[in-house]
Amino acid sequence: MGTAQEFILEMAEIVSMPEVYFKIRELMEDPKTKIGDYERIVQADPMLAIRVMRIANSHYFGFNRKTNDLYGAISLIGDIQLHDLLLGSLCMRAFYNIPEQVFNYTDFWRQGIQCGIVARSIARLCRLPASNRYFTLGLLLEIGHAAMFVKNPELAYRALLESQEQNCDLSKIERKYFGFDYCQLGVELVKTWHLPVVYPQIIGHHLNPYQCGQEFRVETEIVNLAFHYCDSQGLSGLPLSQIQAGRQPHVVIPNNIEKLIAKEISDNTDEVFTMLAPPSNAIGVATGGMEIWP
């Protein structure tokens, strides 16, 4: 068995981030950057330009006005939200050309989108700022599983079946077969992509939020709640107050928010998938519940 880092390095060329992402990061780090600079970068990537326009005018992400041009769309979204929301779409693009028999693209990303919707809903209902970032955190939470299925689908599927048959933690079975779990693998993948530090922190600690540093404790607790609410068999419907029972919460969950979250998932999964996925994959997404991939 190798390490998670070695596993990712061996497949780095298969699932690399598009160059446009790194150009956006460079602009964000330059205090002299203007909206027009982002516009030129995005405009050079027609697929990404379509994503930006759809995000800016979407019902789900709910910006305060509509726009008809790219400059206006980027101004409306803002640079930080532009990064966070495009990040999800660009990560989905990184797995775009994997054969369907190896990796069920639609099912995997639908599950991620639903987890993202739950995380964003909890953050908004708790009146936390930057709620759109919670969506992307939830979306990418299980990105390590995607890497496993791309590079070694037979072993990844065997681990998944064994965890279901024994009704035990999948990450434990993965450590037996691979020597690491999907959380550790996800951390190495997003480090390879040079994502902001919040992403490896949350991906690495979302199963055990109290192992995370104080700086990211609230974000980790929220995605942990979203993860457990959206179990691998489908929407569990388990009350969030019950999931949180026995913890020392850093966020206060409003009463009876499950119905609101279920409606958010039902109303928005199709729209968000269509908005973020490459065109040929943005079709026919059912919202009645999650499915197991592959």
Q: Is the pLDDT of residue 208 over 70?
A: yes
Q: What is the mean pLDDT of residues 19-36?
A: 94
Crossing angle of the two packed helices 46-56 and 35-43, in degrees rounded to 10: 130
Percentage of the chain modeled with pLDDT above 70: 85
* Model confidence band, residue 32 (pLDDT cutoffs 50, 70, 90): very high
pLDDT at 285: 39
Buried-exposed string 8-38: b where 16+ CB fall within 10 A, e elsewhere: beebeeebebbebbebbbebeeeeeeebebb
Read off the pLDDT of residues 217-251 as tens digits, 9 standing for 90 and up.
889 989 998 998 886 434 444 556 555 544 545 56
pLDDT at 162: 93
What does the domain layout of the chain look like in residue ranges?
A: 4-15+100-281
Read off the pLDDT of residues 259-286 as tens digits, 9 standing for 90 and up.
788 889 999 999 999 999 887 655 443 3
**Amino acid code (one letter) for 274:** T
- Residue 215 to residue 61: CA distance in whole angstroms: 26
pLDDT at 190: 95
Q: Is the pLDDT of residue 153 over 50?
A: yes
pLDDT at 94: 86
pLDDT at 253: 66
pLDDT at 291: 44
Place of tokens 């995005």: 42
Query: CA quadruple 76, 80, 85, 89: dihedral positive or negative?
Result: positive
Q: What is the mean pLDDT of residues 75-82?
A: 91
Read off the pLDDT of residues 129-152 as tens digits, 9 standing for 90 and up.
878 899 999 999 999 999 998 899
pLDDT at 241: 56
Backbone angles phi, psi at 291, to 5 degrees: -125, 155
Percentage of the chain modeled with pLDDT above 90: 54
Q: Is the pLDDT of residue 292 over 50?
A: no
Checking 235-241 for CB contacts under 8 A at 24+ apart, the result is: 235/114, 235/262, 235/265, 235/289, 235/290, 237/262, 240/122
pTM of the entire predicted model: 0.87
Report cis status (omega within 30 of 0) of the bond before 18. no
Instruction: Supply the CATH classification number for the domain 4-15+100-281.
Output: 1.10.3210.10
Average pLDDT, the chain: 85
- Residue 225 to residue 241: CA distance in whole angstroms: 10
Read off the pLDDT of residues 79-127 as tens digits, 9 standing for 90 and up.
888 999 999 999 998 888 777 777 788 889 999 999 999 999 988 888 8
- Residue 16 to residue 52: CA distance in whole angstroms: 21
Read off the pLDDT of residues 162-206 as tens digits, 9 standing for 90 and up.
998 998 889 999 999 999 999 999 999 999 999 999 999 999 999
The residue ranking higher by pLDDT, 252 or 163, is: 163
Contacts of 176 (CB under 8 A, 6+ apart): 159
Q: What is the mean pLDDT of residues 43-59?
A: 91
